[in-house]
């Protein structure tokens, strides 16, 4: 396969903990042609969507050790057409650069993009779960989203619970997630001012959610591949910290999915596949879905370490199968069309 990773700079990788590097390494070990690029390196030449890429030098045999592979990697700089790849993995750090999706629009019918362009547009912020209806409504905590301070104050005041969760709509990595208590009215007012206020006349959306019991004990990160859970870990927050994200100081511990957590995955899985969200990370507290992470979901390294598995193998196996299916489908359509043409 020809595989392109649209990601963060290679030099910014921390080899010991980087999930994307595991996927890249697995592709290299299998002998796939590999290229990397970043969002600013996408371009158009002669009406063809291209990218300034760093192509892995095939003359360098990939080491089986991740850290050594990273240190020994050599590249050739080339401008390459996106439609020349079989798979494009979107692994850029959030927030999502919407312009990248505009570039990918031109090749979304020719290349397997993980995750799908339309799916990324729909699910790149927390509204994807906040406005979930149908079967999804029962697995998400009650949620309110607004820029209207008076409305949000009323929501908090009228809620029967003493605690709620407040966070910015476009936050990521646990940034800005706090627990608020109804007794701290003055603090809540100032926090709403801070969260809503933006640069100039700009204002920001704020999410208020029901507090889910057990949140103080952390959450569960589940990696979903084509609508099925392939691995999980519990993230325990550091002392005095409301956020359980590993980058925010949380600790990853081994976790086996409960019957309720499996039920959430089963209810959510078909919607993810329908929306083209093939590889995502979902965050659960109890039987409630808190977030769906569609852009560069992490957790591979910790889940591998805790369970002695290699999730990257399953991910690349799946990508190879998807490419084979698409190739077979295209060849069949060409053959059938030829039959009609010759009739």
The CATH number assigned to the domain holding 42 equals 3.40.50.20
Lowest-pLDDT range, 9-13, 133-137, 168-172, 269-273? 133-137
Q: Is 320 within a domain?
A: no
Taking all residues of the chain, what is their mean pLDDT, rounded to a whole number?
Answer: 90
Domain boundary (165, 192, 210) is at: 210
- Please give the residue that has the higher pLDDT: either 241 or 168: 168
The CATH number assigned to the domain holding 257 equals 3.30.470.20
Domain boundary (188, 210, 232) is at: 210
CA distances from 260 to 140, 286, 291, 306 (A): 13, 8, 16, 22
The pLDDT of residue 269 is above 60: yes
Same domain, 168 and 154: yes
For residue 301, the tally of other CB atoms under 10 A from its CB is 21
Same domain, 231 and 195: no
Same domain, 182 and 271: no
Helices (H), the chain: 19-29, 66-72, 98-105, 117-123, 127-130, 149-158, 185-196, 259-274, 300-307, 311-341
The model's pTM: 0.90
State the residue range of the domain holding 35: 2-114
Residue 47's region, left for phi above 0, alpha for psi from -120 to 50, else beta, is left
Do residues 147 and 196 lie in contact, with contact meaning Cβ atoms separated by under 8 Å? yes
The whole-number pLDDT of residue 186 equals: 77
The pLDDT of residue 215 is above 70: yes
pLDDT band at 72 (very low <50, low <70, confident <90, very high): very high
Q: Is 121 within a domain?
A: no
Same domain, 222 and 272: yes
The CATH number assigned to the domain holding 151 equals 3.30.1490.20
Residue by residue, DSSP assigns 146-206 as ES-HHHHHHHHHH-SSSEEEEEETT--TTTT-EEEETT-HHHHHHHHHHHHB-STT-B--E
Same domain, 6 and 96: yes
Same domain, 168 and 232: no
Give the integer Cα–Cα distance in Å for 153 and 192.
8
The pLDDT of residue 241 is above 80: no
Give the integer Cα–Cα distance in Å for 227 and 276.
10
Same domain, 224 and 200: no
pLDDT band at 261 (very low <50, low <70, confident <90, very high): very high
Same domain, 173 and 234: no
Q: Is 134 within a domain?
A: no
The whole-number pLDDT of residue 325 equals: 92
Q: Is 340 within a domain?
A: no
| Number of domains the chain is built from | 3
Q: Is 31 within a domain?
A: yes
- pLDDT (mean) for 66-78: 97
Same domain, 92 and 20: yes
The whole-number pLDDT of residue 202 equals: 74
Same domain, 224 and 259: yes
The pLDDT of residue 320 is above 80: yes
Q: Is 337 within a domain?
A: no
Same domain, 96 and 33: yes
Q: Is 105 within a domain?
A: yes
Domain boundary (158, 192, 210) is at: 210
Same domain, 190 and 252: no
Q: Is 319 within a domain?
A: no
């Amino acid at each position: 396969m020809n595989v392109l990773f649209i990601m963060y700079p290679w030099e910014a990788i921390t080899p010991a903990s980087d999930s994307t590097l595991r996927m890249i390494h697995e592709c290299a070990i299998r002998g796939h042609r590999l290229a990397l690029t970043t969002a600013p390196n996408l371009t158009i030449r002669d009406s063809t969507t291209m990218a300034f890429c760093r192509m892995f030098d095939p003359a360098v045999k990939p080491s089986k050790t991740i850290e050594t592979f990273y240190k020994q990697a050599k590249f050739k700089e080339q401008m390459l057409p996106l439609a020349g790849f079989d798979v494009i993995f979107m692994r850029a750090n959030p927030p999502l650069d919407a312009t990248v999706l505009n570039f990918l629009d031109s090749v979304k019918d020719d290349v397997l993009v993980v995750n799908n362009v339309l799916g990324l547009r729909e699910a790149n912020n927390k509204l994807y779960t906040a406005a979930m209806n149908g079967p999804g409504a029962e697995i998400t905590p009650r949620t309110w989203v607004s820029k209207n301070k008076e409305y949000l104050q009323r929501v908090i005041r009228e809620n029967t619970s003493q605690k709620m969760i407040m966070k910015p709509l476009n936050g990521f990595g646990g940034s800005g997630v706090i627990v608020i208590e109804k007794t701290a009215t003055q603090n809540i007012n100032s926090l709403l001012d801070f969260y809503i206020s933006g640069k100039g006349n700009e204002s920001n959306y704020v999410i208020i959610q029901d507090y889910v019991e057990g949140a103080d004990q952390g959450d569960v990160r589940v990696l979903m591949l084509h609508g099925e859970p392939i691995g999980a870990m519990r993230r325990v927050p550091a002392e005095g910290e409301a956020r359980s994200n590993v980058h925010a100081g949380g600790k990853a511990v081994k976790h086996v999915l409960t019957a309720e957590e499996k039920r959430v995955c089963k209810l959510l899985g078909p919607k993810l596949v329908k929306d083209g969200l093939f590889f995502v990370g979902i965050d659960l507290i109890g039987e409630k879905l808190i977030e769906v992470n569609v852009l560069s979901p992490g957790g591979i390294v910790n889940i591998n370490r805790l369970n002695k598995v290699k999730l990257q193998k399953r991910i690349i196996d799946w990508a190879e199968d998807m490419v084979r299916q698409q190739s077979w489908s295209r060849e069949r359509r060409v053959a059938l069309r030829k039959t009609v043409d010759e009739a």
